[in-house]
Amino acid sequence: MIQLKDISKIYKTEMVETVALSHVSFDIQKGEFTAIMGPSGSGKSTLMHILGALDLATSGEYILDGESVSKLSQDELADIRNRKIGFIFQAFNLLPRTTALKNVMLPMVYAGVSKEERLEKAKKYLEMVGLKDRMYHTSNQLSGGQQQRVAIARGLVMNPAILLADEPTGNIASAQAEEVMSLFRKLHEEGHTIIMITHEPDIAAHASRIIHVKDGVIIEDEINKKRKKANYQK
């Protein structure tokens, strides 16, 4: 499903070259729930941006769902992001002062989905994340956990190949973090491929596989055996 071959990312400013990722390679299979862990500055966010086609690698090849992403144009990348990737950001990134329903419909607007289908699907996914009675609330009327659930509904609504979450519990209270994590586990059980970036071991413990990153290289790639109710699927 996902293949990273020898991926490097180097940021160049006028004076300094910073190596954010150095020759990273790994595969992720369909249906895996992977956590990428590492301290800040380890290159895990850069890895997530490349996985999400939000940024291009300096060298190496990235194959997503059979398509090579490394050499695509801006607009082709936009299309990949739209169809194959569902994003969940740490800062939620919902449109401000806009209803939950409209936020969830946005990716479908860009995909050219008909109005009736958009409405129907957005309602379905909002119901799934438990926000049936909050559909017409604007983003600033929702709590952090609710906003994150709207973002999850938005990430899922295009039925993407992978769900990418960047510190999904970083901006919400711990009780709500549990709520979000149990939703992730439910999605995993339904067969979604999830990649989650986090620095909290508690959160990473929910995943079936944990990749540890430090200083731009993978230092450990383990199957999470300590996972409660472990039901690792290949």
Partner 1 sequence: MDFGELIIECFSTLTINKMRTGLAILGIVIGIGSVIALISLGQASQKMVENQIQSLGSNLLTVQPGGQSNGAVRGAQGGGTTLTLDDAKAIQSSPTITSVKTISPEYSKRAQVIVGRNNTNTQIYGVYPTYAEIRKITLSSGVFISTRDVDAMSKVAVVGPQVVTDLFGEGANPVGKTIRIGVQSLKIIGVTTSKGGSGFNNQDDIIYVPLSTAQKQLFGASNLSSISIEAKSQEVMTQAQNEVGYLLLARHKFSDPTQADFSIMSQTDILNTASSVTGTFTTLLSGIAGISLLVGGIGIMNIMLVTVTERTREIGLRKALGAKQRVVILQFLFEAIILTFTGGIIGMILGILISFVLSSTMSLPFTISWPAILLAMGVSGIIGVLFGWYPAQKASRLQPIEALRYE
Binding residues vs partner 1 (CB under 8 A)? 49, 52, 54-56, 74-75, 78-79, 81-83, 87, 89, 93, 95, 97-98, 102, 106-107, 109-112, 154, 158
Min. distance of Cβ 68 from partner 1 in angstroms? 18
Q: Minimal CA–CA distance to 28: which of 223, 171, 184? A: 223
By C-beta, is 45 or 208 nearer to partner 1?
45
**Min. distance of Cβ 92 from partner 1 in angstroms?**
10
- Find out whether 189 and 232 touch, Cβ atoms under 8 Å: no
The helix/strand/coil state of 175 is: helix
Strand (E) positions, the chain?
Answer: 2-12, 17-28, 33-37, 59-64, 67-68, 85-88, 162-166, 193-198, 209-214, 217-223
Q: Which is nearer to partner 1, 33 or 87 (CB)?
A: 87
Closer residue to partner 1 in complex, CB, 154/206: 154
Rounded to the nearest whole angstrom, what is the least distance from the CB of residue 222 to partner 1 in the complex?
28
Nearer to partner 1, 23 or 83 (CB): 83
Residues 6 or more apart whose Cβ sits within 8 Å of residue 107: 82, 154, 157, 158
